[in-house]
Structures are given as C-alpha cells and as structure tokens.
Structure 1
Amino acid sequence: MGKTAYKRLKGSQNFRQRLLLATLSSTPILIDDIRTEETWPGLQKHEVSFLRLLERISDDCAVEINETGTKLKYKPGTVMGGKHIVHDCGVNRSIGYFLEPLLVLGLFGKKPLTIRLKGITNDSKDSSVDTFRSTTLHILKRFGVPSEGLDLKIESRGVPPNGGGEVVLSVPIVQSLMAVNWTDEGMVKRIRGVSFSARVSSQFENSMIHAARGIFNRLLPDVHIFTDHKSGQQAGNSPGYGISLVAETTSGCFISADTAVSYSRAEETTEFADDEKKDLMPPGDIGEQIASVLLGEIEQGGVVDSTHQGLLFLLCALCPSDFSKVRVGKLSQYGIDTLRNIWDFLGLKFDIKPDPNTGTVILRCIGSGMKNLSRKVS
C-alpha cells in the first residue's frame, strides 16, 4: 500500500462543498488552520455532524480530526446510499445545509438513498425544506434525474433554537447526468408558496399571505399560497413562523425565496444584540419582505435564483463530456466560490460571458464526464 497523497487546503470556507467534491472525485484532503484565529477555534458542531453524515452514507471513508479541531484529514470512501438511514443534524444549522450535498452524492451512490434527517426545517440562514421540495428537485430533473424515487417529505416542522423537525429524503441513482442548454428563463406565469406556523396562532399565516398577495396581485392574477399550521409533536420544539415562495415561468424555471422567524439560537444572541427585534418581525412585514426578495430575484434574470447558482454550476460540471450552457443573474459569492472549487477539484473551467442586453451572465462548460461507477449495471 502506497502512502496516501492528500490535497492540502486551508481554512473553514466552503467546507461542505470541498468535502462533496473530494468525495465525488475520490480526492483525499487535508484541511489546516480551521478558525485558528477565532475565539472558538476548530470545526463547529454542524461541520462535525456533516462529517458523521458522510461516514454514515459511505463505505471505507476515513475521518481524522486533531484535538483542537483545527486540522482535518478526510479520505473519501464509496457512497453506498441505502434505506432506513437516520441522521440528527443538530440545531447549529438547518437541515437545508445538509440537503444540497446529500442530493448530489445520493445520485452517485451504489443504491438509491432514503434518509430521515432531524433538526431545523426552517430558519433565516439556509434554504428551507419547502424550497428544496418546490425548486431544487426540479433543477435536478433538468439534468436527467428521474422523478421516480426523487422526493422530500416534511413530517414535522422545527425552527431555532430547539428544532424538532423531521424530513425524509429519497434520491434515485443515475448512471450519469445529462448536459443542458438552459438559457431561456421565460416569463413568470404563476406564483405558489407555503406559509407555516408552529406553536403560534394560525392567524400569523393569513397575515403573511395577505401581505405577500398585496404585492403580487398588482402584477399577476395566478397567486396561490398554501397554509401549513402545525401543532403538537409536528410543531417541533420552538415557536416560529415563515413563508416560502416560488415563481414558475413559461419555460419551466423555478425561482424561489424563503425565510422564517423564531427566537434566536443561544450563541447568536451574544453576537447580535438586535437579533431579538429582528427575529420577531411581524408576520405582515415578513410577507411583504419575502415577496420583495422574490421580485428582486426575478428581476435579476437567469434560470435559477441566486441561492441555487452553486448547485447549477456543480451539476453542469458533473455532466458527461458534453457542452452545457446556462444563464444566471448577477453571480453570487457562493456561485463564484463554487466555480473556484470545481476548478480546484475537477480541473474544469467555465467560459463566462456577460450579456449586456439583459444584465445576465452566460456560462458554458464541457462536463467532467462523471459516471456512477458503483452502480450495478442491470
């Protein structure tokens, strides 16, 4: 057995994406200087939880963390997938933080993946589970992922600080993805959404819906926002409310925006003195705010919203050695970081051209030819 050659990286930035790309490209990595200058150095709870999740869905994966948590060695294994897997995501970050890498990894597993995730379903930091269900899964279908076996069930809600939510994610396996030519964003034809409340009055939902509709109804008639009031065990462990909206276009694009309001997590209150005020924003203001955010995303143009740019570029990069072309609005920081990580791990460059007529950006690439080698060929 030869000595393992580790790719050396520094710092905590893009942590889960680096691990995702390391796993897909079978690249052992060594990350140094993880928050060495900060008050609380080393890996945070949600990052350790993500590493445990990788161990759970992989075979022969090796994780070594030093005592202070400032140095990590990760040797990827084979993504196995499988059923009846349960993972507690904790309450540091929401389930959305874990869902994006899981969706991509699940496609390249040995068996289809079904996993129950516990924790926070909705907060103001990560994409909500509603957005994954209404928008993210549709993006995967564009790249040839079959609808059959691709599902996200929300069994109970959970908001910060104590979570208590549960979802069940199912991901089918693919032999390879399908390259896309996806540049037509179309015109918005309808707006759908869901507002939820947990351990508070269901009247909060109606206030959010009324405020959001007040903005949208001036622009188009087809607006329908569902309510999802949870009580008892399905309401999780903390009171909160929120709304998730998605605009569907004539060319089959889904543009989304979401937020949730609850009491802040304990460690956040020390850092942000005004968090308490922000967290308990009235439901009417929340409805108006998120409707405006969605209109801003639509105005930017592009076939996905800014929070989905990273996933879009990643899927293009994992396509067969074929030509993909996509249009996005202004490049988000996460999108730019993703392009750098793709170059770093897959050696793949995108051709980026701004379109001055629309203020959008066109990206082209030839896929890396990623194949699911562990899938059994029937």
Structure 2
Amino acid sequence: MSSITFEGSNCFRQRLVLSVLTGKTLIINKIRHKDIESGINESEMNLLKLIEKVTNGSNIYVDESGTQLRFKPGILFGGQIDHDCGLHRSIAYYIEVLLMLSPFCKRPIEATLSGITNDQIDPSVDAIKHSSLSVIKRFLGAADDNELEIKIVSRGLRPSGGGIVIFKCPIRRVLRPLQLLESGKVKRIRGVAFATRVSPQMANRMVDIAKGILLKYIPDIYIYTDHLKGKNSGKSPGFGLSLVAETTNGVFYTGEAVSNPSGSGKELSVPEDIAKEAAHSLLNDIYRGGAVDTLNQGLTTLFMAFGQRDLSKVQFGPLSPYTIQLLRHIKEFLELTFKLESSQSNTDCNADIENQYKTGSKKIIATCVGIGFTNLSKTVS
C-alpha cells in the first residue's frame, strides 16, 4: 500500500478523508512541534476515534510527543455509531467528515453524536441540515427523508454542551456526475431563532430585527422560534439565529450567528446584534453566489472527483481557502486536476485563484472528470 507524507496540522480532516477513500497510508510529521501545546489536540484525537468507529481495521499510531501520526486506513463499514464529540469543537466538525465518507460505506450510517450544536467556530448543525443535505442529494439521486436526515434532538452551546444530533445517510455504488451552472434567484428565506436556558423573548427579538433587514429584499420570509426547555435545552444558556435562503434552482445559502458563551470573559451578547450579524452573513453568502454555497464547496469538489468517469461542471462563488487547499490535496492523492475558469471570461484562472477569493466578486466554473470510484459493498446502484 502506498503512503503519502505531510508536515503540520493544516487541513487535518481533508487528509484523513482522502486517505480513507484512496486507501493510502497517511503520515503527518511536525504537528504543532513549535507550539506551547504541541502535537495533536483533543478534537483531532476525537476525530481519529470517530473514523476508527466508521472503518474496520484502521491502524492509528501517534508518537509520545503527539507530533507524528501514522494512519493506515481500514475498510469503510458504517452502521450504527454512538460518539461523544467532546466540548472543543462543534458536532458539525465531525458531521462534515461523515458526509464525505457515508455514501461509500458498507452499511448505511446511523450516527448519534453528542456535544455542541451551535458555536462561533464551526458551522451550525442547522446550516448543514438545510444546505449540505440538498447538495449530497444531487450526487446520490433519489433518497427518502428517513434515509438521509439530520435530526436535532437537543441543542448544546458552549461551554458545557449537552446537544444530541442524529445523522443518517444511505450508501450508493457510484455517485452521479453533476452539471450545475445556474444558481437562480432567491425565492424564499427561512430560519430558526433558538434560545436555551434564557427568556423566550430573546428569540422573538432576533426574529423582529432579522425580518426588518430582510423584508427590504423579499417578502416570503418565515423564521421559526425554538425555545427549548428541560433536557432538550442542553447544559449552557445562550441564543442564536440560523437563516437559509432558497433559490428557484434549489440552491441554498446560509447565514448564522450565536451569542458569546457564558463564562468566556467576552461581553454579553444582545439579541439585536446577533440578528444583524446573521442577516448580514446570509446577504454576504448570497452576494458571493454560485450554484453551491460557500459552506459546501469542499463537499461538492470531493464528490465531483470521486464520481463516475463522466464530466461534472459546477459554478462556485469565489473559492474559500479551504476549497483551494482541498483541490491541491486531491491533486496529490488522486493526480486529478480540476479545470478552473472565470464565468465572466474564458481565461484560465488557476494561477490567480487566491486573488479571486480576495476580490469576492468573480464566479468560478470548476470542471473535472471523476475517477470512477465504486463502492464494491453496494451491488446495486
């Protein structure tokens, strides 16, 4: 089995996912070797434990200092999984990895994840539920709601968590090629304003301000208030707002904000400020545009690469740094290069891709022919 070597802690999840899918042994050296807290951190170790549960036969070696990792991937198995995601990163940090691996497992995944559902570091579970599932459906084809689902049983905020999320995803023999070049026009905006262990009035105040901003652009707006009580409210007080805009072509853009954690030393958050931040975040994502929102650029890129030996073509907004690095990793693991063009001209923009991100205006058309990856555990498509 071939191996591939990296240095440093950047893009840890990308490297693990590509190692599992390609079967190549992953070696990472000098992981934070110059930092005060050197080596693999708790969230990364927790992620390795989750991948160990999803796969069968993975071999993980971390040296005593934690600065060197050797990961020999096993076979993707799936099935029922219970995992405590800890309190260092959100549940979304782990669900994003499961989304990339789930279609290729031997058995459909049904994972119960506990931890933090909404924080200021990672995307919320709400954003993934409303936007990522619509993207993965395009590659999977027909999928029932009980097969592909993210269910928030209870919410958990920093610092103590207490959230529980159930994630289900079916398996497929091959992924469909995707042709998606038009985003369409925004036709409706939906959202959820949640409040846990605080006054229900917090959620109502966020709804009023967010509607005041968004009604200037579109009339079809509905924001649901979710005031949780008892065990469903997690272990920490807080509130937040998650918004999603749907276009006429079934593209979803997201924007969200959450209050500062209690006991963090930061000033107390005001519901009106949270609502403004979430609304402006949504408008910014709409402005960036593309037939896939910024959150799902990486997921789309990966599935395009591992799809059938057929042409896939998708329009993105300005590429995020995460997507740019994923394209480089795909080239290293698969020797597959995407063709990137500006949708406003036919000039190739590979050499100037970081500038495309900084300008925030140009759209990118990404084209590739998939490697024809096949899930041999699934006998019928």
TM-score range, shorter chain: over 0.9
- 1:362 deviates by 0.8
**Distance across 2 between alignment mates of 1:140 and 1:342:** 19
Distance apart, 1:377 and its partner CA: 4.7
**Residue 20 of structure 1 aligns to which amino acid in structure 2?**
V
Matched to 1:135, the amino acid is: S
Per-residue deviation, residues 59-115 of structure 1 (Å, max 9, x unmatched): 1111011111110010000111112x2000000000000001101211100011101
Partner of 1:150: 148
Residue of structure 1 aligned with 2:163, choices 145, 159, 165: 165
Within 5 Å, give how 1:40-59 maps onto structure 2: 40-59=37-56
Q: Point out the more displaced range, 29-38 or 349-358.
A: 349-358
What pairs up with 1:248-267 in 2 under 5 angstroms?
A: 248-263=246-261
| Residue 345 of structure 2 corresponds to residue 342 of structure 1 | no
* Alignment-derived partner of residue 325 in structure 1: 313
3-state SS in 1 of match to 2:107:
coil
For the residues of structure 2 that align with 1:321 and 1:204, how far apart are their CA atoms?
51
Find out whether 1:32 has 2:67 as its counterpart.
Answer: no
Looking at structure 2, the residues matched to 68 and 82 of structure 1 have their Cα atoms a distance apart, in angstroms, of: 33
User: Normalization by structure 1: what TM-score?
Assistant: 0.93
How far apart in 2 are the matches of 1:62 and 1:146?
35
CA distance in 2, matches of 1:220, 1:5: 54
CA contact (8 A) 2:257 2:275 kept: no
Q: Which runs of 5+ in 2 are unaligned?
A: 346-360
Question: What residue is the counterpart of 1:314 in the other structure?
Answer: 302
AA in 2 matched with 1:50: L
What percentage of aligned pairs have identical amino acids?
Answer: 42
Distance 1:181 1:199 in 2: 45
For the residue of structure 1 that corresponds to 2:314, the secondary structure is strand
Partner of 2:208: 210
The question of 1:276 aligning with 2:266 is answered yes
Map of 2:69 onto structure 1: 72
**What is the number of equivalent residue pairs in this alignment?**
364
Corresponding residue to 1:122 among 104, 118, 121: 118
Does residue 8 of structure 2 align to residue 11 of structure 1? yes
The one-letter code matched in structure 2 to 1:372 is N
Task: Report whether the alignment pairs 1:360 with 2:348.
Answer: no
In structure 2, the residue matched to 1:179 is 177
In 2, distance between residues paired with 1:170 and 1:216? 33
Higher mean C-alpha displacement, 352-361 vs 73-82: 352-361
Deviation track 1:310-354 (CA, whole Å, cap 9, x = no partner) reads: 111111111111101111111111110111111111111110111
Determine the structure 2 residue equivalent to 1:296.
284
Matched residue SS, 2:175: coil
What is the SS of the residue equivalent to 1:362? strand
Aligned to 2:128: 132
Q: Determine the structure 2 residue equivalent to 1:240.
A: 238
Which structure 1 residue ranges, 5 or more long, are not aligned?
270-274
Q: Is the CA contact (8 Å cut-off) linking 1:239 and 1:262 kept in structure 2?
A: no
Amino acid of the structure 1 residue aligned with 2:258 = A
The answer to whether the 8 A contact 2:173-2:378 is kept is yes
Deviation at 1:143, TM superposition (A): 1.2
1:374 offset after TM fit, Å?
2.4
Question: Which contiguous aligned blocks of 4+ residues in structure 1 show a shift greater than 6 angstroms?
Answer: none
Match of 1:20 in 2: 17
Alignment match, 2:354: none
Per-residue deviation, 1:146: 3.4
Instruction: Measure the CA separation in 1 of the matches of 2:282 and 2:133.
Output: 19
- Cα offset, 1:292, TM superposition: 1.0
In structure 1, how many angstroms separate the alpha carbons of the residues matched to 2:201 and 2:126?
20
State the distance in 2 between where 1:33 and 1:100 align: 25
What SS does the aligned partner of 2:266 have? Answer: helix
Pairing 1:187-202 to 2, within 5 Å after superposition: 187-202=185-200
Taking a change above 3 Å as real, the CA distance of residues 329 and 359 of structure 1, as seen in their structure-2 partners, is same
Cα deviation code 1:269-307 (max 9, x no counterpart)? 5xxxxx602xx3211111111111111111122012222
The residue number in structure 2 matching 1:272 is none
Q: Secondary structure at the residue paired with 1:143?
A: helix
| C-alpha separation in 2, matches of 1:56 and 1:198 | 31
**Residue aligned with 1:195, SS:** strand
User: How far apart, in 2, do the equivalents of 1:231 and 1:333 lie?
Assistant: 39
Q: Distance in 2 between matches of 1:41 and 1:57?
A: 27
1:183 offset after TM fit, Å? 0.8
Counterparts of 2:120 and 2:331, CA distance in 1: 30
RMSD: 1.5
> 1:110–1:376: 8 Å Cα contact kept in structure 2?
no
1:143–1:178 CA contact under 8 A, matched in 2: yes
Given residue 221 of structure 1, which amino acid in structure 2 is its aligned partner?
P
192-201 or 138-147: bigger deviation: 138-147
Q: Which amino acid aligns with 2:369?
A: I
Deviations 1:155-208 (A, max 9, x none): 000011111100010110001110111010000000011111111111111111
